[in-house]
Amino acid sequence: MLIAHLSDLHIRPQGVLYQGLVDSNKMCKQAIEHLHALRPRPDVVIITGDLVDEGLPAEYEMAKMLLAGIEQPLLLIPGNHDDRARFRAAFAEQSLAASEGPLHFVAAGLGPVRIIGLDITVPGQHHGDMDEAAQAWLEGALAQEPERPTLIMLHQPPFLSGIPYIDPYACFNAQRLARTVERYPAVERVVCGHVHRAMQLRFGGTLLCTAPSTTTAIGLALEPGAEEASYLEPPALLLHHWKPDTGLITHWVPIGAFPGPMPFA
């Protein structure tokens, strides 16, 4: 099973640049074109939040138009830049789990890996929160098929990266998530967005990784007093490949055209 993982598209209204500088809509289109060129083609596409930049109706109209080009089943969760109500209305055909409140879901019919979407966003805030209600919901979802290979997707990462200007906006109460995941060894991966960089670490007895953005990268600045900055590094996506003999393998896939192929390996 192949799971393509995009994140932090920051789609803007037609003709408007992200932060007044970057054509995030064009970069989103390029990411989808690259996605279509992958062989074999992914079975499902997931997006871990920040579909749009300001939660505007015009942004969701553009997002629907751009994402309509994805031919595979598409699973989405909101990020801190999304508006939950407008997100729900824009993608109502996806049978989002609740008519109000967090947009959690369980997708178990797309292949051997069950995909769980966990909406930990806090409306009006940039941080996330693994509150008691989210913990109880996740516990119930995992308990339905405790031995099934599972990927959990959320937006804000439940750890401190060391980048001083992004860490205040992590997922609060991360220990609740870690304790829950520890009880279910079949959780192959916890995946996040938000930090616009690829990172990986052990978490809750499994592996956690963050996805790069399809637009700008947040600067890798580990000095305590570093000033916030972003860069036009090569955009990328993640490709999670599940095989019975290995479990889940995660590949970092740069987006674009590169010299090759060359006759050696």
Taking alpha carbons only, the member of 49, 123, 122 closest to residue 79 is 49
Taking alpha carbons only, the member of 32, 21, 22, 38 closest to residue 241 is 38
**The model's pTM:** 0.96
Cis check: omega of the bond before 185, within 30 degrees of 0: no
Q: Which parts of the chain register pLDDT below 70?
A: 94-99
Kindly report the average pLDDT of the chain as a whole number: 96
What is the per-residue pLDDT for 96? Answer: 55
C-alpha separations of 259 from 40, 65, 187 in Å: 20, 31, 37
pLDDT tens-place string over residues 43-70: 999 999 999 999 999 999 999 999 999 9
What is the per-residue pLDDT for 249? Answer: 98
Q: Which residue(s) pair with 88 in the sheet?
A: none
List, in order of start, the domains of the chain with CATH numbers: 2-254 (3.60.21.10)
What is the per-residue pLDDT for 65? Answer: 96
What is the per-residue pLDDT for 92? Answer: 84
Taking alpha carbons only, the member of 161, 265, 226, 192 closest to residue 6 is 192
What is the per-residue pLDDT for 185? Answer: 97
What is the per-residue pLDDT for 98? Answer: 53
What is the per-residue pLDDT for 100? Answer: 76
Q: How far apart are CA 201 and CA 199, in angstroms?
A: 7
What is the per-residue pLDDT for 215? Answer: 98
